[in-house]
Amino acid sequence: MATPSFRPAVWALCGLLAGFVPAGAQEAVSNGKPGGPRLLGVPVDSARPPEADPAVGSRGFWTRLRDEARRFRELNGGPFAFSLRYRIPAELARDIHRVASEEGIDPELAFRLVRAESGFNPRARSHAGALGLMQLMPYTARWLDRRMTTAERIMEPEANLRAGCRYLRQLIAKYDGNLRLALLAYNRGDGAVDRDLRRGRDPENGYTRRVLGNGTARYRGSGLLSR
């Protein structure tokens, strides 16, 4: 039988097998918190008495290991994971994840874009007049959604996210899937990007590195949600 001191390590291994243990989550594995061991802040079967655990190596053990791995795969890339990674409210993480998915944008990219644009502040205003989570300019917002006639409407989180994701998807299509150009157009305007391209200049201004990152943390997807 797995002893109580061994159980947290066993089920933490499940997260590793699932391919996801977020940065800083390891210290969330604890056997000293009330209610039993916790992983990622979630009780690990705290109601189950230790003696109910299957013996290590038994069929029941491997069955439960697979079940736990499946659970962590479901968490990987979901709102809960992003809420932990960026330390933002769960409700905001759910909104970003849901709207991005509905608009066909990879949620991973959407979170990176919102972080770069507004730092996850729905009331953000730039000196140039951009508003909200996705930092939409008022004229762009009205072009995307005719109902966005006031600053308050533009800064409404769901409407702002939806318009911003829709705009990014249109730009990705315009530049034939070139995510770097699409992001630069999102930041600088497609007119400025097109002008530089016509003149044989690289439109890069450093913005794509802010969004996509670099090294092992670099985003390597297409920007669009795989279906």
Catalytic residue selected from 68, 103, 108, 117: 117
**CA torsion sign, 132 to 133 to 138 to 141?**
negative
Nearest in space to 144 (alpha carbons), one of 177, 134, 223: 134
For the chain, give the longest Cα–Cα distance. Answer: 72
DSSP state of 4: T
**Cα 24 to Cα 20, 59, 80, 85, 95, distances in angstroms:** 12, 32, 14, 9, 23
Q: Which single residue is written with the structure tokens 């797995």?
A: 2
Task: Take residue 82 and report the two structure tokens written for it.
Answer: 């992003």
- Does the annotation mark 117 as catalytic? yes
* Residue 194 identity (one-letter amino acid): D
- Cα–chain center distance at 168: 16
Catalytic residues: 117
